Structure 1
């Protein structure tokens, strides 16, 4: 039996059982809840509603992008930011929120995150410019990251050790539900008289509904009651926060605008990407040597990079972003172009993928909870991801709907099997006192992978489609080309001959197919790294 720290031994060792520190090893841990009955039910539902909103916003724009572009003509070059801005806001601040929740009272932090999320949603719904909408998405992502970490932190703090795994696991179920309903809700609003704007206003309605729970029923929990607020603020890692946020922001700008607004070899893109890389390096140096901070308060748990298991889990969790989110955004777009689907119908087409993704995520949690091995899951899942992605790459405008459903289910089955493994294993191989840091570590990997995957996928799609359509219509203006890409029923596209329309449709479908190269690459990376994992068993014993 291991102590709960990083497991010892070589890959060749057959098996290890790695429990987290037990109840007896955690002095002062509560053995009975003070809140019970209907009050406890309302409290849990209210807290979980935040995880639902975060998941909903992750996928809700997947199906309303054409309607948004129609609202803001000439903004096709900013299309990647509809999805990326939210993920960027979350990825760049995940470590910041984790550090804050490690020092300050949970309740005010949770409420601050909620307010930021709701303000961002309100800006998105009321935006009169695409730039305002993008800013709102980034602000909602920033608040959403705090909400999600707040949910995990509050549920861990308010539950007993014996019941905690069930309540923490429920966040995965709620996340799945939000992911499933996101495209459907967005599509339903886009086709109604309410318009796509209510895909964001709905967050205000749900937030208002549970406002009494947030304000009056969530208790204050101070992780460091012995320190005053001024002391906590003085110890915060401001330098690290600035470096990580700036690095993510510049990197995403460079990847998103490269090839669309600027040539990849332009000085603007090269400078932006180089600055991003430099800031990441500076952040690493600052964290390693605790410059302008200290070991206890630095943002990044650098010690985890000394663990082979945690490093592999980090990279694999980041790689899982492509097979999870590329289909969520591009399957509806495919059906809108090839089948003439409206937003709601296209969202329904996505349900087989999302439902199987959630099902296999839950199945993995249930089976791993009893059996314990995790390396075989990565090997099997990556094979499904590679096969499913390769099949999706072969899809064209004449491929039957049934085949597309089958291919997407294969991809979803593989992605679902590994979506939660990183969280489970990371918490099982660190001391109990570091479990929140382990969650933040894997969460950073997943959201970073999401940012990279969506940025690259959108860039691949737009750049390739623009090049192909420009070859088909050499005399078309950039605005006309963008109009053809932005919607299957655009006035410009409808004005062309049937033969030219078919050529453009084929070009767009080919461009969509190329985004699945990212999924194949991610699956291959996960497979290779899986053979470096230790063949061991882990059990999350609270």
Structure 2
């Protein structure tokens, strides 16, 4: 893997104490009233990047690594009809806390929150590997997602703070490359583990892999990062960190409202039409409560921003009144929907409709996941040359609509159409482009330095919230579409078996299996058509971001 781009180093920053935890030796510091960080060089810089890369890779690979192992896991633990929860539970942990972790790191420090999130990820990865029932696995996956979401969110912020703004495009391309590589290798690694050994190692291997990242963090990152070496920021003690004055900065009501609101909303969408009818009390209650909490969250953030002087809002209300920021977050929401949906559903389709092995399913989705890093790096380079990113974002948004719409027109049979590989490339190139360029535009879209971390966290929050909601929508639509059609072909018990485990298809007689495959293929086509429509929202968001003087990455 290529080394991260080197940072521009200010000449007064001496890197003679790479193991220092509390301060840096600074000669001739001058005026540091600006919020601009001091930048590292040498071994410390590269070690910190190694820690970020490990954390980003592990937290991201947990999304696709189970997609080729779902059938294996549910064959062991049962509950194929709840299989999407194996991924959705992890995403719930992500979407409920991304912006929360980011804002809390502003209050309690990047190092402390990064360490806490990594430890949480490690502990619950081990718990997932030890789960004895699908319910246990889903619960542990949710907490694993909370830790993974925290490390992902804070790593993104630290990555931007390690380099000056002139390096943002290069850093974004590099991070997007790592992100995309995790998506490419995830299904293949998951399938290989499931086939060669026990699926539990998918989660257990995170423990020895993440420990080096934690150790590097503890040794190399100053406690006061990114304010290290500045006279205005002294050594932060434990007492200072958890003092009443510092705790008063935490927006507790906002934290609870956004976390529970997203949890209720996604849970309601996930269960609707599967375990509960759309008109059931559970679904209605979850959707109503989730909607009220999210609306209440934005109302509270407006109050905190305008009226409270000490408490720092998780979502500054000035974001809601800025057309460009609103457009950015709409793009994030709608980019996550087809992106996460395709990552989960493409390999699952190869396994169920085309009877491919987990490894083969992962390999056959490489046209989608492989196009993403190529697009991320190439389009970031183009943006670095001075082309406004918004032009490329608009083009990529249209490309996604076309690609996913074409994936929704595939033949209804067990035979694999070669055309779908080309369709995957189209959709993957568009998704990969916007995955990198939109996050690049997040810190460049805000007017105040202090809003950069929240803008990055907010973007990731909306992107993965979109992914969780989009996955819930297409999973619910799929179940509602195929259940009545399968019921006209199979007995009730056979339908239940097919919904619980894809392997049940192989036990049907040839005629029933052929007809069932047609129904399933039609269901997957419907899902991709839905994803095409959701991807189209990025066009609206991009137009909202249009300005007379466009944002540039140079």
Alignment TM-score, normalising by the size of structure 1: 0.88
How many corresponding residue pairs? 510
- Deviation (angstroms), 1:482: 3.0
Q: 1: CA distance between counterparts of 2:502 and 2:220?
A: 49
Identify the residue that residue 108 of structure 2 maps to in structure 1: 104
Identify the residue that residue 48 of structure 1 maps to in structure 2: 53
1:208 counterpart = 2:224: no
- Deviation (angstroms), 1:385: 1.4
1:521 counterpart = 2:536: no
Identify the residue that residue 232 of structure 1 maps to in structure 2: 246
Q: 1:147 aligns with which of 151, 160, 167?
A: 151
Q: 2: CA distance between counterparts of 1:506 and 1:444?
A: 37
Identify the residue that residue 67 of structure 2 maps to in structure 1: 62
Identify the residue that residue 10 of structure 1 maps to in structure 2: none
- For 1:28-427, list aligned pairs within 5 A: 29=36, 33=40, 36-37=42-43, 39-73=44-78, 75-159=79-163, 166-167=170-171, 169-192=173-196, 194-221=197-224, 225=234, 228-230=241-243, 231-290=245-304, 294=309, 297-395=312-410, 396-397=412-413, 400-427=416-443
The C-alpha deviation readout for 1:22-75, integer Å capped at 9, x for no partner, is x99973745552x523x44333212221011111112111111111110122x1
Closer, same or farther in 2 for the Cα pair 1:332/1:28, shift >3 Å?
closer
- Deviation (angstroms), 1:152: 2.6
Two-structure CA RMSD over aligned residues (Å): 2.4
**Contact 1:356–1:409 (CA under 8 A) maintained in structure 2:** yes
Identify the residue that residue 464 of structure 2 maps to in structure 1: 447
Q: 1: CA distance between counterparts of 2:31 and 2:220?
A: 29
Closer, same or farther in 2 for the Cα pair 1:494/1:90, shift >3 Å?
closer
Q: 2: CA distance between counterparts of 1:205 and 1:344?
A: 24
Identify the residue that residue 539 of structure 1 maps to in structure 2: 552
Q: 2: CA distance between counterparts of 1:476 and 1:29?
A: 64
- Deviation (angstroms), 1:300: 0.9
Closer, same or farther in 2 for the Cα pair 1:349/1:522, shift >3 Å?
same
- The structure whose RCO (Cα within 8 Å, separation 6+) is larger is 1
Closer, same or farther in 2 for the Cα pair 1:484/1:442, shift >3 Å?
same
- Deviation (angstroms), 1:211: 4.3
- Deviation (angstroms), 1:271: 1.5
**Contact 2:55–2:213 (CA under 8 A) maintained in structure 1:** no
Closer, same or farther in 2 for the Cα pair 1:155/1:369, shift >3 Å?
same
**Contact 1:114–1:143 (CA under 8 A) maintained in structure 2:** yes
Point out where structure 2 has 5 or more consecutive residues left out of the alignment: 1-29, 228-232
Structure 2 counterpart SS, 1:371: coil
Identify the residue that residue 428 of structure 1 maps to in structure 2: 444
**Contact 1:237–1:293 (CA under 8 A) maintained in structure 2:** no
The C-alpha deviation readout for 1:228-271, integer Å capped at 9, x for no partner, is 53121232111111111111111111111111111101122112
**Contact 2:249–2:310 (CA under 8 A) maintained in structure 1:** no
The C-alpha deviation readout for 1:363-420, integer Å capped at 9, x for no partner, is 1211112223233223322222122112111113256442110111111122122112
The C-alpha deviation readout for 1:314-347, integer Å capped at 9, x for no partner, is 1111101122122211111221123321111110
**Contact 2:160–2:168 (CA under 8 A) maintained in structure 1:** yes
**Contact 1:236–1:293 (CA under 8 A) maintained in structure 2:** no
The C-alpha deviation readout for 1:82-105, integer Å capped at 9, x for no partner, is 111111111111121111111112
Closer, same or farther in 2 for the Cα pair 1:32/1:84, shift >3 Å?
closer
- For 1:477-496, list aligned pairs within 5 A: 477=493, 480-490=494-504, 493-496=505-508
1:27 counterpart = 2:34: yes
Q: 2:520 aligns with which of 503, 508, 526?
A: 508
- Deviation (angstroms), 1:489: 2.8
**Contact 1:334–1:512 (CA under 8 A) maintained in structure 2:** yes
Closer, same or farther in 2 for the Cα pair 1:514/1:159, shift >3 Å?
same
**Contact 1:86–1:138 (CA under 8 A) maintained in structure 2:** yes
Structure 1 counterpart SS, 2:551: strand
Closer, same or farther in 2 for the Cα pair 1:172/1:483, shift >3 Å?
same
- Once structures 1 and 2 are overlaid, which stretch shifts more, 213-222 or 400-409? 213-222
Q: 1: CA distance between counterparts of 2:249 and 2:111?
A: 20
Q: 1: CA distance between counterparts of 2:241 and 2:404?
A: 53
- Once structures 1 and 2 are overlaid, which stretch shifts more, 224-233 or 424-433? 224-233
Closer, same or farther in 2 for the Cα pair 1:438/1:32, shift >3 Å?
closer
- Once structures 1 and 2 are overlaid, which stretch shifts more, 371-380 or 515-524? 371-380
**Contact 1:453–1:518 (CA under 8 A) maintained in structure 2:** no
**Contact 2:328–2:542 (CA under 8 A) maintained in structure 1:** no
